[in-house]
Structure 1
């Protein structure tokens, strides 16, 4: 008898449950919950008009791709086709002088070519990494003005102000803090872009596109 109960009980339960598994439930939405007109939730871009709203870049990791996209967002909000009031171009806001150093002489062509902009960014980072290789080895891990010095912070600052000015900042223990035309300082970039792993970028002497 006990054996018959043990066998039959699971079968009965399966039969009961199968009666519920294939039914479609119809749910009616109350009128007060139905959307009758567009709202800010429907159009997230409208949130930029809200008081105190700040646009933030998407976090896509702490590797090289996260570093370059975060830097691009700070420079241009990731816009390949923008030129700022000082004439800096594209997603990463390159000056014509820096572009010439990596073998690009046509600013209009550069501005229309996202692939070329990505290549230029990588090549320029590898160039700066070569120029600053001794400073990276010497200063990474130290603190200046309360900021931990990291390789990614150094290279971000070099993108902002040039590797020569970053050398001056590091070798003055942070006392010579250069700012760009908009008031952004080397120390600001050192802090904002610290801690990314950009070991995928190899230092290269005079790389060209």
Structure 2
């Protein structure tokens, strides 16, 4: 009996405490603690039809009637790498394609060796290492192509405006050597990969992003 009375007493106290918090005067709360003023929010919400960084058909949902919204990363460095990743693998860290290319950004084993990664299995199951690899490879390519970027950026070749981000995306696809051939032949030597994506296509699709975050580095390595 004493135990039951004790339980009722504890429950009553809990109810009283809950009611007290719920009925607390609104003016006593400090809403400044919950303000987002002064915080940089680096994305805005865009409707699916307005987004340009992703292929819309891959995001459609036949079972959902309401509009689909997602963060639009714009033309930032993050927008660049995520748009490229979506084209390469739909952003899947753990995928391997039919030619053996690995991960979110679809790296080949030989390219990984150039940036200091010698264990493809470890690479595939380590998203953080994959992100490091993308940046290191872009830094290395930017160093190799630094003269071509300076010479051709802003010019029109094969009907497209040449930008640094387009050059780096094309180098990710086909290697910096293929990009040099495309630029220096003024679009005549347009290499395509096994799935039909060409240097010109990547230069156009990924043009105009801000890749100033990527620093040219001859010896860039992916180190955790």
**Category of TM-score, reference length = shorter chain:** 0.7 to 0.9
* Counterpart secondary structure, 1:84: coil
Structure 2 distance, partners of 1:126, 1:199, is 10
- Superposed displacement of residue 58, structure 1: 5.8
The residue number in structure 1 matching 2:26 is: none
RMSD: 2.1
Aligned equivalent of 1:100: 113
Quote the residue 1:193 is aligned against.
206
- Name the structure 2 match of 1:123: 136
Give 1 or 2 for the bigger CA radius of gyration.
Answer: 1
- Provide the residue aligned with 2:5 in structure 1: none
SS of the counterpart of 2:132? helix
The two structures have a TM-score, normalised by structure 2, of 0.68
How much does 1:76 deviate? Answer: 0.3
Name the structure 1 match of 2:67: none
Task: Tell me how many residue pairs correspond in the alignment.
Answer: 161
2:93 partner SS: coil
Q: Out of 77, 82, 86, which is 2:99 matched to?
A: 86
Q: Give the Å deviation of 1:145.
A: 1.2
How big is the shift at 1:206? Answer: 1.9
Deviation digits for residues 137-183 of structure 1 (CA, Å, limit 9, x no counterpart):
00001101110000000000000000000000000000100000000
Q: Distance in 1 between matches of 2:198 and 2:82?
A: 19
Q: Which runs of 5+ in 1 are unaligned?
A: 1-44, 51-56
Q: CA deviation at 1:48?
A: 5.0
**1:145 partnered with 2:158:** yes
User: What's the offset of the Cα at 1:46?
Assistant: 9.1
Unaligned ranges ≥5, structure 2: 1-57, 64-69
| Partner residue in 2 for 1:113 | 126
CA displacement at 1:47 relative to structure 2: 4.0
Runs (4 or more) in structure 1 with deviation over 2 Å come to: 45-50
Encode CA deviations 1:25-50: one digit per residue, 9 max, x unaligned: xxxxxxxxxxxxxxxxxxxx994569
Residue 59 of structure 1, CA deviation: 3.0
Q: CA deviation at 1:208?
A: 1.7
1:82 and 1:140, CA in 2 relative to 1: closer, same or farther beyond 3 A?
Answer: same
In structure 2, C-alpha distance between the alignment counterparts of 1:133 and 1:193, rounded to whole Å:
18
3-state SS, counterpart of residue 117 of structure 1: helix
Deviations 1:81-112, CA, capped at 9 Å, x for gaps: 00000000000000000000000010100000
